[in-house]
């Protein structure tokens, strides 16, 4: 005799069940996706949804046990359902308690490139007035160590931060000295084009385990067009810098990031192939943002969200074909969303946090000492809008900066669980809020959701991912490998 009873012995015999909170969205083809507050989801035919909500779904139905296990319904005596939901919810928001992790130091606005879509309104190389000083950096370090987060990430941005490498050297040395007593987990990243990365700089990066985040927009002709510099050798300098950085710092020490310009829209396969050619195992198909020269040169208006979604769909299809052929390669924006969809982990990506990650996940110390709630906030500043300036390192205390009314109001209004239209959206648990974007585009931090490009992009990509998982079972296995990094 078997030691265990069969599954039929545990099935309910009554249709008496209670619905737990959930939302739903219609998908192409007439089916729906149902979601709950912690991101669990299921695909249902519309008649099955109607049976569920009318409490006529039979316990013998194959979907009944699945819906019960994913916390869409509960039976009498189910004590664990609410407790498990609460545990998953606490896990989802657990990172908020650690407060700010990412601290961005804008080492310089100077740059040797003149990208037409530059989001930070870079300055020419000879304007040293746009460099961060040692005094400003030291004060920023003091404020950074006030964060209760056990892990601190310091990212140097610009312009081209290597034009002020002495400042970077000072900050790294100072932070490491202080951290002998603080005992934090510290990570350094330099965002750079690699065009000015000398052997001296790269050896310093190796000695201090500094990661490099570089820029690669695609093949040489596209990259040089998007990122012009004197000599028209931007791509050549990137490749040479990439190879030397991998030799001197470490192969996995360099990542790359692209921006989708109007010229990129018909080249997504070429762009992905370029990343493969140089040994990268993923790409972030990043859209243009409406800041800095991207607005001044009208680059942001050169294509709309619908056109970018076409570009993205073509890229995702190609990447999935690569994975099906045995080549592991991820799309990082999809991976961020999938992490929230297929696990209880929140990746902590600022734009996909609720409440928004401004200030509480990332903060920016500008070259002049001003403090901004996010990278996009200081981009707005370069356009003359200082709404999200939350203090100055020389004038304000830590408490004054992080209890600034502008920051607190933005955080309160960006909680998607109570924001108008967000609270009713089936994708709320996977999405986030971008109060800076909505303020810049619509004049208020909530924005008009039916018109919001942020919502259109996020919903468009989310529906695409759901469509892929619903239509091709093997795709979900690929997505799980992306999420689990294997």
Domains of the chain: 13-93 (no CATH), 99-402 (3.20.20.70)
Measured distance CA(39)–CA(156) in Å, rounded = 34
Q: What is the DSSP string of 442-475?
A: HSSSS--GGG-HHHHHHHHHHHHHHHHHHH-HHH
- Say how far residue 331 (Cα) sits from the centre of its chain: 12
| Residue keyed to tokens 């040293």 | 128
Neighbouring C-beta atoms of residue 231, cutoff 10 Å: 11
Instruction: Name the pairing type of β-strands 151-157 and 102-106.
Output: parallel
| Helix axes 234-248 and 199-207, enclosed angle (nearest 10) | 40
Q: What is the pLDDT along the chain (486 residues), one digit of tens a residue?
A: 557 767 665 555 556 899 999 999 999 888 999 999 999 999 999 999 999 999 999 999 999 999 999 999 999 888 888 888 899 989 888 888 899 999 999 999 888 766 665 544 445 555 667 899 999 999 999 999 999 999 999 999 988 999 999 999 999 999 999 999 999 999 999 999 998 999 999 999 999 999 999 999 999 999 998 888 877 889 999 999 999 999 999 999 999 999 998 999 999 999 999 999 999 999 999 998 765 444 444 445 567 899 999 999 999 999 999 999 999 999 999 999 999 999 988 898 988 999 988 899 999 999 999 999 988 888 887 778 888 999 999 999 999 999 999 999 988 888 898 888 899 999 999 999 888 888 888 888 888 888 889 999 999 999 999 999 998 889 999 999 999 986
| Residue keyed to tokens 């409440």 | 355
């Amino acid at each position: 005799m078997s030691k265990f009873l069969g599954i039929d012995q545990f099935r309910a015999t009554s249709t008496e069940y209670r619905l737990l909170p959930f939302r739903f969205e219609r998908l192409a083809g007439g089916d729906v996706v149902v979601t709950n507050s912690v991101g669990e989801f299921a695909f249902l035919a519309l008649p099955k949804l109607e049976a569920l909500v009318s409490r006529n779904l039979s316990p013998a139905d194959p979907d009944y046990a699945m819906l019960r296990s994913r916390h869409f319904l509960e039976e009498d005596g189910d004590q664990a359902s609410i407790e498990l939901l609460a545990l998953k919810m606490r896990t989802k928001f657990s990172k908020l308690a650690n407060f700010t992790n990412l601290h961005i130091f804008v080492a310089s606005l100077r740059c040797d490139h003149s990208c037409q879509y530059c989001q930070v309104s870079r300055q020419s190389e000879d304007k040293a007035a746009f460099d961060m000083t040692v005094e400003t950096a030291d004060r920023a370090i003091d404020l950074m160590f006030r964060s209760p987060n056990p892990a601190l990430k310091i990212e140097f941005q610009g312009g081209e931060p290597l034009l002020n490498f002495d400042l970077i050297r000072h900050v790294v040395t100072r932070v490491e000295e202080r951290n002998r007593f603080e005992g934090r987990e510290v990570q350094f990243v330099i965002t750079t084009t690699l065009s000015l990365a000398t052997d001296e700089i790269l050896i310093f990066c190796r000695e201090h385990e500094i990661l490099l985040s570089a820029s690669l927009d695609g093949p040489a002709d596209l990259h040089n067009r998007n990122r012009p510099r004197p000599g028209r050798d931007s791509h050549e300098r990137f490749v040479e810098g990439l190879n030397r950085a991998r030799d001197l710092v470490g192969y996995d020490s360099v990542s790359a990031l692209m921006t989708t310009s109007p010229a990129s829209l018909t080249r997504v396969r070429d762009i992905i192939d370029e990343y493969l050619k140089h040994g990268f195992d993923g790409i972030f198909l990043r859209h243009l943002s409406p800041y800095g020269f991207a607005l001044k040169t009208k680059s942001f208006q050169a294509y709309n969200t619908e056109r970018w979604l076409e570009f993205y769909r073509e890229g995702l299809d190609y990447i999935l074909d690569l994975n099906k052929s045995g080549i592991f390669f991820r799309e990082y924006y999809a991976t961020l969303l999938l992490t929230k969809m297929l696990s209880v982990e929140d990746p902590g990506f600022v734009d996909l946090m609720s409440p928004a990650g401004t200030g509480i996940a990332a903060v920016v110390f500008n070259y002049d000492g001003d403090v901004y709630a996010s990278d996009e906030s200081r981009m707005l500043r370069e356009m003359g809008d200082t709404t999200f300036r939350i203090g100055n390192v020389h004038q304000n205390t830590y408490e004054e900066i992080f209890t600034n009314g502008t920051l607190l109001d933005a955080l309160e209004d960006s909680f998607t669980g109570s924001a108008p239209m967000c609270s009713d959206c089936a994708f709320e648990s996977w999405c986030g809020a971008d109060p800076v974007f909505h303020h810049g585009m619509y004049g208020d931090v909530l924005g008009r959701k039916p018109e919001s490009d942020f919502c259109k992009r996020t919903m468009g990509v989310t529906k695409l991912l759901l469509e892929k998982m619903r239509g091709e079972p093997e795709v979900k296995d690929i997505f799980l490998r992306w999420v689990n990094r294997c």
